[in-house]
């Protein structure tokens, strides 16, 4: 081999040995670069994550301002529960209303803008201008506090076209029945809190719980998604779900309530009275079927109504009941044997009598000698007072308290008073003969009607209830009763009170369709300034029920301060309204008509009974 060949071969071998290293070098460089980039990217990602964590824990104020503009927290509306009557008819409800507001900063030409609102929505341009000028720096100016249904569609269309206009929903409490049962229903404040009536009494059930949600918005203020404001922007989270209030079903019957108010309005107007109440109970279970009051009250106008017109006088006003107290004492004396029904009691030919203690007591007219039944039919003060002396103060006090006097009835109506019945130790010398005839004692209208439930319910005192029981626990609590009289004494008392309507002081208000039982009363009003009784101030009262053999209704009518020139006796002022109501109500309830119970004789002897 020549030297040249050897040299060539040597060079060729060297080149062959260097080839693989030369080809691997670029790959190694690429690997090193990629690794370096990955390290840098990892470090950058770590730094970014660290910055995110730092922003979440201690964000820069400038970032917070941006986030605040992108996140909006809103209240999710929840409706207060409705109040309905026993048949499900609405007395109070909550609905969604809409207000229209503008952002003055986004309004370029106020004149054109106001004209547009006028043309499209029907607003007053002058009022719109005034509203915006009063708050030029505000971004929230209400120009229509409550849009009418006819305006709402136009306002929505306008809000989709103009950035300066927006709609906002809010809740309003509506009272669709107006003045019907106004004082009973009551009203709420602007925050939805019940202030009076059943709105206040049932607030815990009616109250709603509003929800809450935070929205993330884009640069155009369009909502993107729900976020948890406490955890940071963009993180999904559950929102606070709103909860509507529960419906409350009252024992009132709207139809009976309207009948009661109609008859009461008619009677108050006919006698020029200052006020009046008509109370209706179902004596079998204590359901309050109607509570009518005059003057009337519209809950929607609570802010412009006098406080005395808003007051529920059925439970918040007290007065001396007068002769409607006598059946309670008559029944108790009969049951205890303090007087026998066939016994003859000397009520004097003179018409007045001097008790052991206290001044002379008078009847409205001389009665002479009366049987114990006739004492009640004639409404003799002397006869009742003589038997009360036999009973004694402690027994009279026990009887009246057993009928629920001297304490609230437990109706649950706000502001209920318990009346005035002083302890026996505080009685004066005249109280033993005055309290049994309805003087020196004070009651509320509802309290006095409840006191008659033993007479209409086989001797059992039934507490009133305003809310229809729904569960077994509520039913059990509503069924608590107290026996006050034997069924026989209760029936006997109703029989005599039936004769009161047929022959005695209630004869002008008797019904020829159903047998009505009841007692009239005429009480004087106290003079709170000078003391004693107010001249010409009376309360005409009547409490009764029907049908007498199996009562479905117990009704009390109380007419305060009737015009004495027209009439003021209970038999002519209060009783007719109650009887007219009962005839309408019993027909509505489908109670078959029946002939009155057989009347006892002696109608001629009792024709002299006046209508007190």
Q: Which residues of the chain have pLDDT under 70?
A: 1-23, 55-73, 216-239, 471-480, 595-612
What's the confidence (pLDDT) of residue 479?
54
* Interatomic CA distance for residues 462 and 464, integer angstroms: 6
What's the confidence (pLDDT) of residue 21?
65
| Whether the predicted model's global pTM rises above the 0.85 cut | no
Kind and range of the H or E element at 71? Answer: strand 71-76
Strand locations in 264-343 (E): 275-281, 288-294
What's the confidence (pLDDT) of residue 56?
65
What's the confidence (pLDDT) of residue 599?
41
DSSP class of residue 597 equals: P
Q: Which of 575, 507, 567 is nearest to 543 (CA)?
A: 575
Please return the burial class of 293, using the count of CB atoms within 10 Å of its CB with bins 0-12, 13-18 and 19+. Answer: buried
Please return the burial class of 58, using the count of CB atoms within 10 Å of its CB with bins 0-12, 13-18 and 19+. Answer: exposed
What's the confidence (pLDDT) of residue 391?
97
Three-class SS of residue 77?
coil
Kind and range of the H or E element at 165? Answer: strand 165-174
What's the confidence (pLDDT) of residue 596?
45
Q: Which of 241, 324, 218 is nearest to 570 (CA)?
A: 324
447-489 confidence digits (pLDDT tens): 999 999 999 999 999 999 999 987 665 554 555 678 999 999 9
Structure tokens, 404:
């629920």
* Interatomic CA distance for residues 562 and 370, integer angstroms: 31
CA-based radius of gyration for the chain: 41
Computed over every residue of the chain, the mean pLDDT equals: 87
What's the confidence (pLDDT) of residue 300?
94
* Interatomic CA distance for residues 190 and 171, integer angstroms: 9
What's the confidence (pLDDT) of residue 601?
31
- Going along the chain from its start, the domains and CATH numbers come out as 72-249 (3.90.1310.10), 254-298+310-606 (3.40.710.10)
What's the confidence (pLDDT) of residue 228?
62
Structure tokens, 320:
């001396």
Strand locations in 230-359 (E): 248-249, 275-281, 288-294, 344-346, 352-353
| Signed CA dihedral, 145, 151, 156, 158: sign only | negative
CA quadruple 562, 403, 317, 540: dihedral, nearest 10: 0
Please return the burial class of 226, using the count of CB atoms within 10 Å of its CB with bins 0-12, 13-18 and 19+. Answer: middle
């Amino acid at each position: 081999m020549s030297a040249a060949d050897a040299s060539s071969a040597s060079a060729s071998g060297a080149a062959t040995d260097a080839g693989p290293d030369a080809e691997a070098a670029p790959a190694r460089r690429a690997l090193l670069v990629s690794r370096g980039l990955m390290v840098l990217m990892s470090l950058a990602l770590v730094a970014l994550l660290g910055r995110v964590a730092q922003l979440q824990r201690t964000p820069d104020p400038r970032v917070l301002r941006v986030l605040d503009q992108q996140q909006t927290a809103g209240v999710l509306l929840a409706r207060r529960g409705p109040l309905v009557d026993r048949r499900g008819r609405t007395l109070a409800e909550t609905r969604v209303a809409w207000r229209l507001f503008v952002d003055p900063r986004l309004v370029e030409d106020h004149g054109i803008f106001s004209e547009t609102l006028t043309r499209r929505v029907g607003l007053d341009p002058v009022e719109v201008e005034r509203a915006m000028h009063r708050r030029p720096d505000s971004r929230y100016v209400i120009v229509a506090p409550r849009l009418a249904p006819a305006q709402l569609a136009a306002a929505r269309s306008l809000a989709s076209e103009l950035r300066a206009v927006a709609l906002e929903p809010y809740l309003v409490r509506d009272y669709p029945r107006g003045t019907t049962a106004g004082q009973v229903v009551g009203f709420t404040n602007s925050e939805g809190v019940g202030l009076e009536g059943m709105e206040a009494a049932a607030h815990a059930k009616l109250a709603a719980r509003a929800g809450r949600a935070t929205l993330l918005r884009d640069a155009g203020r369009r909502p993107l998604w729900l976020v948890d404001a406490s955890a940071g922007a963009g993180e999904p989270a559950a929102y606070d779900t709103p909860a509507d209030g529960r419906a409350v079903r009252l024992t009132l019957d709207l139809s009976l309530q309207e009948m009661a108010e109609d008859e009461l309005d008619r009677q108050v107007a006919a006698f020029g009275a200052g006020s009046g109440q008509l109370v209706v109970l179902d004596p079998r279970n204590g359901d309050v079927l109607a509570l009518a009051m005059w003057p009337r009250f519209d809950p929607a106008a609570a802010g412009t109504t006098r406080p005395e017109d808003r007051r529920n006088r059925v439970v918040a006003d007290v007065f001396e009941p007068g002769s409607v107290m006598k059946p309670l004492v008559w029944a108790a004396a009969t049951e205890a044997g303090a007087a026998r029904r066939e016994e003859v009691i000397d009520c004097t030919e003179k018409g007045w009598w001097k008790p052991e203690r206290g001044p002379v007591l008078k009847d409205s007219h001389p009665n002479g000698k009366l049987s114990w039944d006739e004492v009640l039919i004639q409404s003799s003060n002397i006869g009742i007072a003589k038997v009360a002396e036999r009973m004694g103060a402690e027994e009279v006090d026990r009887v009246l308290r057993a009928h629920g006097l001297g304490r609230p009835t437990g109706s649950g109506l706000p502001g209920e008073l318990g009346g005035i019945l002083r302890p026996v130790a505080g009685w004066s010398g005249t109280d033993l003969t005055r309290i049994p005839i309805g003087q020196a004692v004070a009651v509320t209208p509802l309290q006095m009607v409840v006191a008659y439930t033993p007479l209409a319910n086989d001797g059992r005192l039934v507490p009133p209830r305003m809310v229809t029981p729904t569960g077994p626990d509520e039913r059990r609590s509503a069924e608590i009763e107290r026996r006050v009289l034997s069924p026989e004494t209760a029936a006997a008392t109703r029989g005599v009170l039936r004769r009161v309507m047929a022959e005695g002081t209630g004869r002008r208000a008797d019904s020829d369709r159903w047998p009505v039982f009841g007692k009239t009363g005429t009480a004087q009003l106290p003079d709170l300034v000078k003391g004693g009784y107010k001249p010409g101030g009376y309360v005409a009262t009547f409490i009764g029920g029907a049908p007498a053999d199996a009562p479905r209704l117990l009704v009390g009518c109380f007419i305060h301060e009737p015009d004495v020139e027209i009439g003021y006796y209970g038999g002519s002022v209060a009783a007719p309204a109650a009887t007219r109501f009962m005839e309408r109500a019993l027909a509505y309830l489908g109670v078959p008509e029946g002939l009155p119970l057989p009347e006892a004789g002696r109608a001629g002897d009792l024709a002299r009974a006046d209508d007190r």
